[in-house]
Homo-oligomer: A and B are copies of this chain.
Amino acid sequence: MKPSKINFMEKFSKLPDEDYSVRIIAMMNNYEFKIVKFKGEFIWHSHSNTDETFIILDGKMLMNFRDKVIELSPGEMIVIPKGMEHKPASEKGYKALLIEPEGVPNTGDVDNEITMNKIEWI
């Protein structure tokens, strides 16, 4: 593997013009770095086998938990503990970097119409 730099906004500029889009941009060992943009209300879900990290790059994210809501802005991160139900939401949309082991389903233990079985590289 040849090391090269990755520019987040350059990668975001290549995403399709949709409210929800996610692509892999890098790997470190068996962990994937993904860019995600999202606007709206995601679904309640959890990941029973892994923690999950969000680093906010643009916009505001409301991370809903069953007992509280945490608002995140650019320059902030949060680690969602393994097994904890959460639901990201954003009225105007956010851009974030997502870090988790390869192959983790976007909707965790829930399988519905927004579940992606394979996430592409960009």
- Interface size class of chain A, counting residues whose CB lies under 8 Å from the partner chain: 35 or more
Is A59 part of the contact surface with B, judged by Cβ < 8 Å?
no
Q: For chain A, what secondary structure do more than half of its interface residues adopt (helix, strand, loop), or is it mixed?
A: strand
Is A81 part of the contact surface with B, judged by Cβ < 8 Å?
yes
Q: Is the CB of B7 within 8 A of A76?
A: yes
Which one of A22-30, A37-45, A113-121 is at the B interface?
A22-30
Of all chain B residues, which has the CB nearest A51? B28
- Bound form: Cα–Cα A53–B3 in Å: 11
Interface residues of A in 67-89 (CB under 8 A from B): 70-72, 75-82, 84, 86
- Bound form: Cα–Cα A16–B31 in Å: 31
Interface residues of A in 35-70 (CB under 8 A from B): 50-53, 55, 57, 63, 65, 70
